[in-house]
Amino acid sequence: METENMENRKEIKRELGLIELPTLDITPYIGKKAKIENVRQYEGKITKKDGSKTYYLQVETEIIDTLGQDKNKIELRGSMIYGLYEDGEGNLGWGENTKLGNFLKSKKAKNPAQLVGKEVILIPTTNKQGRKFLGFD
C-alpha cells in the first residue's frame, strides 16, 4: 500500500454527516450491445501482502452515451477489470479457467488484443464498494 507523505497532511475539524453521492441510472443501457474499443494493461499501485505487484487488464467498450456538458461531460462506457498473474519466470498472463480465460474463450479470442471490435452485451455489475456500473457479458 502506498504511504502518505506525512509532512503534507493537515488535520481538519469539520462537521461530518451523511451526504448524497452522485448516481447514474444505468437501467436504460442494460441489454444494449457495444463493441470493445480498448484493452489496457496496468500495474497496480497497491502491493500484495507478500510484497509482489498486482497486474490487471482493463477492457472498455466504445462510448455508449455522453452525459453533461463541458467540464461536467462524462463519456459512459462499459468496463471490466480482469486480474493478471505473474509466474515464477516473470511471464505475465492469465489462467485457462480464470474469468479472463473464460471471457476470451466466449469471444473466440486467443489473446486480449483480439477482443478489440468484439461485440458484448451491457450488464449491471457491482464493485467491492457496492457501487453499480456498466459491465458486460
Q: Where are the domains of the chain?
A: 23-136
The pLDDT, as a whole number, for residue 2 is 46
The pLDDT, as a whole number, for residue 24 is 81
Look up the pTM and report it.
Answer: 0.78
Q: Which amino acid is at 46?
A: I
Kindly give the confidence (pLDDT) of every residue in the chain, 137 residues in length, as a single tens digit, with 9 standing for 90 and above. Answer: 444 455 677 888 888 898 876 678 899 999 999 999 999 999 876 666 776 678 999 999 999 999 888 888 888 999 999 999 988 898 999 999 999 999 999 999 999 999 999 999 999 998 877 888 999 99
